[in-house]
Amino acid sequence: MLAIPAIDLREGCVVQLVGGDFDKEKVRLGDPRDIARRWTGYGFQRLHVVDLDAATGRGTNRAIVRDLLADAATPVQVGGGIRTTEEVESLFSDGAERVVVGTRAIDDPDWLREIAEANPGAIVLAADVRDRRVVTHGWTREHPRNILDLIDELSGVPLGGLLVTAVHREGQMAGTDLPLMEDVAEASEWPVLASGGISSMNDLRALQERGLAGAVLGMALYTGALDPRILAEEFST
């Protein structure tokens, strides 16, 4: 299983939010390129970059994303507010290994299939989940379908992966939602990445035992709860 550090961008800084709430920002660091170099230096094999401002319609960190991709010494997957084919193509041109799409992909499955077929194995669907319901538009709208229904409806789409974030655990260091992740991994035909609440090596080992392909980590890394060197060494494939 692969451990993947998150670089969440807000107003030009790297941040960590509690429970997906923009009013509960716990970490704020400057110079995203320095942060990316730090994680790469520890030995992590992939980075996960998200433009939170774009995801919520508050602005854009596109220039910073472009700089991160140009500077990257390891593969990078990029998400946050990506809602057009042109944006997808631009990110691939700028060097993204994978493009992560959420809100529009869930609202418009025909578009998701179109970009996935044009870029087989390189599109990751991000499904933010609160109590098994999918939420979109930066966690502000609850979708009528639950995550297992969504997986069933998208069968056959050539995705590179499915990223499931347990928003109700995000940034709270309360442990992963293991029953959710186990059910998703069993139902999904694509590699599944887990996010939200992961706070210990035991959390990660439990996810690995249940067949998860990777875990995106934020708060536990930024607060020092997990040792990045040990983490990168154990979860590197």
Please state the φ and ψ torsions of residue 17, each to the nearest 5 degrees. Answer: -105, 155
Q: Which of 53, 128, 177, 203 is catalytic?
A: 128
Q: Which of 8, 53, 177, 203 is catalytic?
A: 8
Whether 128 is catalytic? yes
Whether 131 is catalytic? no
Q: Which residues are catalytic?
A: 8, 128
